[in-house]
Amino acid sequence: MPSSDPYRRRRARLVTATVAWVLAVLAATAVGLTAVGAIGAGIVGTGQRPLTPQEVEARLLAASAARPAPIADRTAPVPAAASTPAEALAGRGGTVLARCSGGTVEVVSVTPAQGFRVHDQDSDDRDKVELESEEIAYDVRLSCVGGRPVAEEIVDD
């Protein structure tokens, strides 16, 4: 039967191609899972487990115990002429890092919120920062109260 010979060849090619395709899919899946496991995300592995609240407390206590003792007592009054640590004052237009020095406020840095920008910061106007977006503008008025910087955010008309 000469006509059955091409049929067998075609069937053998089809079976061979199917088996090769299945093996290629299995090999690609194995490589992908191995790569993800090596990264640490762990589809096939357990990965890292979250810490319990008790473990967090224990680590925080261990970290605070390892810190050196403070140089000066923070409860001692700060002289009026001395500079205080900078404080972050967050608002809708962004965050202003400021400190009080000798009763006057000093802007250390300004980080606008997403969509905002600092409007022409005037070096003579140290107690005000202007933050604006396409829709709205805020004036951040700064002052020192009790030796600490305080911010008031006002909508700029």
Higher pLDDT, residue 1 or 149: 149
Predicted confidence at residue 20, as pLDDT, reads 96
- Taking residues 15-35, report their average pLDDT: 93
What SS3 class is residue 106? Answer: strand
Tell which wins on pLDDT, 95 or 74. 95
Q: What value does the mean pLDDT of the chain take?
A: 79
Cross-sheet strand order for the sheet of 148-155: 117-119, 128-132, 137-145, 148-155
Judged by DSSP in three states, 140 sits in strand
Cα-Cα-Cα-Cα torsion 70, 75, 80, 81, nearest 10 degrees, comes to 0
What does DSSP assign to residue 45?
Answer: S
Q: What whole-number distance in Å separates Cα of residue 99 and Cα of residue 127?
A: 11
The answer for 100, left when phi > 0, alpha when psi is -120 to 50, beta otherwise, is beta
Q: Is the pLDDT of residue 8 over 80?
A: yes
Does pLDDT of 11 surpass 60? yes
Domain boundaries, the chain: 4-66, 87-155
